[in-house]
Chain A
């Protein structure tokens, strides 16, 4: 079975977010980039399923410029077999979805996995766009994924519960915890990753439908009002009379 796992390159979760002086771009200076944490669930689960099936391939796909390659190599070190990088700045979700759909179509992948959303753009859109472009079902967000032959059983999170869904390959799923325990690379993986194939291709479509006009940081808090612990009940009065939230 052929798995395609889409990963994005995002600022580390501890990053303090700042922007360029014109507020048009994220300020990358001094920032450590990681594999999007949600995508790690997709990657590890694909590797686990491949291992359980005793064959098949896991291909990692990233839409990004050359500076994303260290994290693509990291995905190979975790256990993917090969990688494709679409050499382009990911303009928006539609732009990225078109690249993924084109590669998925040409490569004849059975299962296309990605994280629920990226922690930088938080769009939660690419899964559905890819599914619609390919005309295949999408399951989002998936908390569990098992395969039996060409049939997948997934648990999809819904507000207040979950649905058990069955789909046949090919399909797209966006993944989140508790799907698996994301793996970290071991030394052997890091050594073998250096020689695994990483193909760089040019984008097949150029269209985007949205554009960021400006970024902004949330307004600063006014400062905390402290209430002495022995007088804790006072807080409840303030919440009713001053903040008016209870």
Chain B
């Protein structure tokens, strides 16, 4: 028996969220008195996979099939199921990403496992039961969920687990073949289109976010948001009304029906803080609100606030960050 961790890789590197997933998995393995094995999907170098030892991973299974570079639901599911069988995995840990949710939900049927997504803490295993805490009601609440059966799948929410870094430890990388055939790649993408990453920081992976609302008055003023984001090394985001009127692209919309983010720092500029927006951001560690209306509801959910004109305040903040650096 073991714990199996699914690590997503891109451009040869293990994604940051997967370092958290690996750390989660190795800690679960320790709780259960076993070891954690990783299986890699996406494009990964052996050297980077070996470094997963720093997150407590003992062994990494690596299928060198080149078509695994892009996400293919059928092939990924079969690969992970084969790895789970080989390792006799009782717990499988993945990222709560679009890939993790797509594959995890199929695996739960194939492996007859119970599953919890959006998980934010390590499990509790007292008295033979296995309980995880997960986000529910779009960030407005948490649920302790009991997972039944002797196989469990856990999808871990980004930025909710601190990644371990035990310098110098390496994992053994082992060639592994799931005997994938053409049929497993039937739903392979015809084309992959990546967003233009002007600032270089992707919103779902970002640990700092600068976000703008209707108070920014128009798309022509977004330079102020981008300047601060660039100085901080943050991603940019927006509220729903802003993406609804096409000031900003839909993939920047943060909120109940957009992306849920949980960065270390979320700076809201000219966003009043409707309950639907708060749902998408309230698991951020530190929230800063800049709004000229002192009655804006967002101030109640904030750690720091500035009552003032965003057009005035934003350049000052950008300047202060530059001076600090």
Closest to B109 in A: A132
Interface flag for A196 (CB, 8 Å):
no
Q: Which residues of A contact B313 (CB under 8 A)?
A: 229, 232
Most buried by B among A94, A128, A176: A128
- Nearest chain B CB to A21's CB is how many angstroms away? 15
Q: How far is the CA of A164 from the CA of B102 in the complex (A)?
A: 16
- Nearest chain A CB to B292's CB is how many angstroms away? 9
- Nearest chain A CB to B130's CB is how many angstroms away? 10
- Nearest chain A CB to B10's CB is how many angstroms away? 8
* Cross-chain contact of B286 among A210, A214, A239 (Cβ < 8 A): A239
Q: How far is the CA of A93 from the CA of B108 in the complex (A)?
A: 11
Beta-carbon contacts under 8 Å, A52-78 to B: none
Beta-carbon contacts under 8 Å, A87-142 to B: 93-94, 97, 119-129, 131-133, 137-141
Whether the Cβ atoms of A17 and B137 lie closer than 8 Å is: yes
Interface flag for B181 (CB, 8 Å):
no
* Cross-chain contact of A246 among B101, B135, B265, B279 (Cβ < 8 A): B265
**Given A124-B117, A160-B197, A239-B265, A227 and B144 contact (CB-CB distance below 8 Å):** no
Beta-carbon contacts under 8 Å, B140-171 to A: 140-149
Whether the Cβ atoms of B257 and A123 lie closer than 8 Å is: no
**Given A129-B106, A211-B145, A122 and B137 contact (CB-CB distance below 8 Å):** yes
Interface size on A, residues (CB 8 A): 78
Whether the Cβ atoms of A122 and B136 lie closer than 8 Å is: yes
Q: Which residues of B contact A245 (CB under 8 A)?
A: 208, 264-265, 285-286
Interface flag for A149 (CB, 8 Å):
no
* Cross-chain contact of A159 among B118, B204, B257 (Cβ < 8 A): B204
- Nearest chain B CB to A150's CB is how many angstroms away? 14
Whether the Cβ atoms of B147 and A121 lie closer than 8 Å is: no
Q: Which residues of A contact B145 (CB under 8 A)?
A: 210-213
Q: How far is the CA of A7 from the CA of B118 in the complex (A)?
A: 21
Q: How far is the CA of A120 from the CA of B134 in the complex (A)?
A: 12
Q: Which residues of A contact B312 (CB under 8 A)?
A: 229, 232
**Given A209-B148, A210-B116, A218-B283, A119 and B256 contact (CB-CB distance below 8 Å):** yes
Most buried by B among A138, A143, A158, A243: A158
Whether the Cβ atoms of B300 and A13 lie closer than 8 Å is: no
Q: How far is the CA of A243 from the CA of B304 in the complex (A)?
A: 10
Whether the Cβ atoms of B189 and A164 lie closer than 8 Å is: yes
Q: Which residues of A contact B73 (CB under 8 A)?
A: 137-139
Whether the Cβ atoms of B98 and A156 lie closer than 8 Å is: yes
Q: Which residues of B contact A132 (CB under 8 A)?
A: 77, 105-106, 108-110
Q: Tell me the A residues contacting B by CB distance below 8 Å.
A: 11, 13-17, 19, 26, 37-38, 93-94, 97, 119-129, 131-133, 137-141, 143, 156-167, 176-178, 208-218, 221-222, 224-229, 232-233, 235-240, 243, 245-246
In the A-B complex, the 7 residue pairs with the closest CB atoms: A128-B105, A229-B308, A233-B320, A163-B189, A209-B114, A161-B194, A132-B109
